[in-house]
């Protein structure tokens, strides 16, 4: 017992804290054994299926469809039919009504969706509950507000919907990416065919139930599941007028090649390798929280993750020391436990990719630190990792790892920070930590990144446009800008 504790007559603080588990009840979610495709407001029996699992336990959850070219075509036909025979005549305020309904139902059913999202994707329940679900509902609310104000959003132009939107989304924020895609498309008066990622189809399939509850006319939103082949079929389908894709840069480039010369509209939201830059006048404890949030949020499966930490040389040691200490307090484990900070890696394939890149970092000469933590034996797991002694040329400083792995580099001057931050093929996001407003503005002007956060990180708001430069893609999602790709403005 310390002198202070004796004086205060308190028991000594235990040297090792352990948390009793606080599991979220799973029975709020009712899964079917088998799902088909949601086409024209009906469930279409899937001809081929595969098993979707929980990445935390490898437990099979359900059989879902692997859409064939004919099934994709049926979905596109349903969307085209709904567009031509009804939806394009629905008044804008009526469209808004459906979006408001969807938003409200998502709020009402948020616990169910949050549990399902964590179960199928591996992310901690506190993130699905406090981030994915509120933001998904907020997105529908936000775009509901625009549906009958398009003339005000684009004054002196004649906004008209483009037709059928083909939308392909990734596995890191399954429901939120669905909201980012569907909400602006419907607000602008389009119909939709959407494909969720192969590993995380279940929240999109539950969303079909929300569409029915909201009484959205049949065919306005169609959902087909499957792997990349299904995505490729959507992209090349002649009945699709606009493609919106979020995922890897390689697939984004392939889609762009496929669509070249077709006249179809395209937006691409691809990868990133963001710099999170800490100046020596920053509030260090807050910055350390921002670093943790920047890279360990959602296991680092975040396109805008702050995966390259640039620390001003004079504060390198205290920052690394504080960061390592903070890392030891992160709780890695069961995604459905409300105490969990870092959940499961989304798939075996992604775990292999992380392991391969981390091995390359150690081989190239970087120093690795992982806090002591016991990882579950079953499922896909990776301990929060920090690399120091990283050179800019190392793969871990250049390539998107998409996992809980941070590479630390240093700089001396603001110019050097900008040069290093921009030294990547990507340009999606960046973070700046300093107490000087003038420096924030100076940096923001020079950073080639679509989003620059100042003294915070990973903040999202439906009214704020999001998107990249260079190999991070083009087009913006969110805000008024997010309507533009879904409108013909001539
Ligand atoms: P992909 O780009 O393969 O997946 C994104 C979506 O595109 C999925 O729905 C996928 O289906 C689909 N898809 C795959 N191939 C095609 C194709 N040829 N035509 C049309 N659609 C296709 O990403 P991965 O899941 O393979 O992840 C690989 C890497 O990509 C990650 O390690 C990460 O670096 C990056 N990534 C970036 C994301 C971002 O938000 N910017 C999100 C996800 C990944 P399926 O699920 O079946 O593969």
CA distance 474 to 182: 18
CATH architecture entry for 37-270+469-489: 3-Layer(aba) Sandwich (3.40)
Residue 144 Cα to ligand 1 midpoint, Å, equals 28
Nearest to 143 by CA among 79, 186, 194, 192: 186
Residue 359: enclosing H or E segment and its boundaries?
helix 348-364
Residue 170 Cα to ligand 1 midpoint, Å, equals 6
What are the residues whose beta carbons fall under 8 Å from the beta carbon of 77, sequence distance 6 or more? 239
As annotated, the residues of the chain forming the CATH 3.40.309.10 domain(s) are 272-454
Residue 247 Cα to ligand 1 midpoint, Å, equals 4
408 by Cβ neighbours in 10 Å (0-12 / 13-18 / 19+) ranks as: buried
Q: What residues does ligand 1 touch, defined as CB less than 6 Å away?
A: 168-172, 195, 197-198, 227-228, 231-232, 235, 246-248, 251, 254-255, 269-271, 303, 350, 353, 400, 402
56 and 158 Cβ atoms separated by less than 8 Å: no
Q: Which two tokens stand for residue 245?
A: 């894709």
Residues of the chain short of pLDDT 70, as ranges, are 1-17
CA distance 437 to 425: 28
Look at residue 5 in the predicted model and tell me its pLDDT.
45
Q: What is the pTM of this model?
A: 0.95
Q: E strands within 313-377?
A: 367-369
Fold exhibited by the domain 272-454: Aldehyde Dehydrogenase; Chain A, domain 2 (3.40.309)
Q: What is the pLDDT of residues 365-394, one digit of tens each?
A: 999 999 998 899 999 999 999 999 999 999
End-to-end CA distance of the chain: 76
Ligand 1, residues 247, 257, 346, 450: which to mutate, most atoms within 8 A of Cβ? 247
Instruction: Give the number of other CB atoms < 10 A from CB of residue 477.
Output: 23
Which one is catalytic: 269, 400, 477, 484?
A: 269
Residue 442 Cα to ligand 1 midpoint, Å, equals 35
Nearest to 299 by CA among 339, 351, 361, 370: 351
User: Residue 268 forms beta bridges with which residues?
Assistant: 245, 474
Ligand 1, residues 65, 172, 236, 248: which to mutate, most atoms within 8 A of Cβ? 248
Residue 45 Cα to ligand 1 midpoint, Å, equals 25
Asked if 94 is an active-site residue, the reply is no
Asked if 24 is an active-site residue, the reply is no
CA distance 316 to 278: 9
Which one is catalytic: 24, 303, 471, 484?
A: 303
As annotated, the residues of the chain forming the CATH 3.40.605.10 domain(s) are 37-270+469-489
CA distance 214 to 103: 9
Look at residue 15 in the predicted model and tell me its pLDDT.
54
135 and 466 Cβ atoms separated by less than 8 Å: no
DSSP 125-167: HHHIIIIIHHHHHHHHHHHHHHTT-HHHHSTTS--EE-SEEEE
Handedness of CA 396, 400, 404, 410 (dihedral sign): positive
């Amino acid at each position: 017992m310390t002198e202070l504790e004796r004086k205060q007559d308190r028991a000594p603080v235990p040297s090792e804290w352990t948390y009793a588990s606080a599991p979220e009840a799973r029975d709020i979610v009712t899964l079917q054994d088998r799902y088909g495709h949601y086409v024209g407001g009906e469930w279409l029996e899937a001809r081929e299926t595969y098993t979707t699992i929980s990445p935390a336990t490898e437990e099979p959850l359900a059989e879902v469809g692997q859409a064939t070219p004919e099934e994709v075509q049926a979905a596109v036909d349903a969307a085209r039919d709904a567009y031509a025979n009804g939806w394009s005549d629905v008044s804008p305020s009526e469209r808004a009504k459906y979006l408001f309904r969807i938003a409200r139902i998502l709020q009402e059913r948020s616990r169910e969706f949050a549990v399902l999202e964590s179960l199928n994707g591996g992310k901690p329940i506190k993130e699905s509950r406090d981030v994915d679900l509120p933001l998904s509902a907020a997105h529908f609310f936000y775009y509901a507000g625009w549906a009958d104000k398009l003339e005000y959003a684009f004054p002196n132009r004649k906004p008209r919907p483009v037709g059928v939107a083909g939308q392909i989304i990734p596995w890191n924020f399954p429901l939120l990416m669905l909201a980012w895609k569907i909400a602006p498309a419907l607000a602008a008066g389009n119909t939709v065919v959407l494909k969720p990622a192969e590993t995380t189809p279940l929240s999109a399939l539950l969303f079909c139930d929300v569409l029915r509850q909201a009484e959205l006319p049949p065919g306005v939103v169609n959902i087909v599941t499957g792997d990349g082949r299904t995505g490729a079929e959507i992209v090349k389908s002649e009945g699709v007028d606009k493609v919106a894709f979020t995922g890897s840069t390689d697939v984004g480039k392939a889609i762009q090649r496929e669509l070249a010369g077709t006249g179809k509209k395209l937006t691409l939201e691809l990868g990133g390798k963001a710099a999170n830059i800490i100046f020596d006048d920053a509030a260090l404890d807050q910055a350390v929280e921002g670093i943790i949030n920047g890279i360990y949020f959602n296991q680092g499966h975040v396109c805008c993750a702050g995966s390259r930490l640039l620390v001003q040389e004079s504060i390198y040691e205290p920052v690394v020391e504080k960061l390592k200490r903070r890392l030891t307090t992160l709780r890695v484990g069961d995604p459905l436990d409300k105490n969990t900070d870092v959940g499961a890696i989304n798939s075996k394939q992604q775990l292999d990719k992380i392991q391969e890149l981390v091995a390359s970092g150690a081989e190239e000469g970087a120093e690795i630190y992982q806090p002591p933590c016991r990882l579950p034996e079953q499922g896909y797991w990776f301990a929060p990792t920090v690399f120091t002694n990283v050179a800019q040329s190392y793969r871990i400083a250049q390539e998107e790892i998409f996992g809980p792995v941070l590479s630390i580099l240093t700089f001396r001057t603001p110019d050097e920070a900008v040069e290093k931050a921009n030294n990547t093929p990507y340009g999606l996001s960046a973070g700046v930590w300093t107490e000087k407003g003038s420096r924030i503005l100076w940096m923001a002007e020079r950073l080639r990144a679509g989003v620059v956060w100042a003294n915070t990180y990973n903040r999202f708001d439906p009214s704020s446009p999001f998107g990249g430069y260079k190999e991070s893609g083009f087009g913006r999602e969110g805000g008024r800008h997010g309507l533009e790709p879904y409108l013909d403005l001539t």
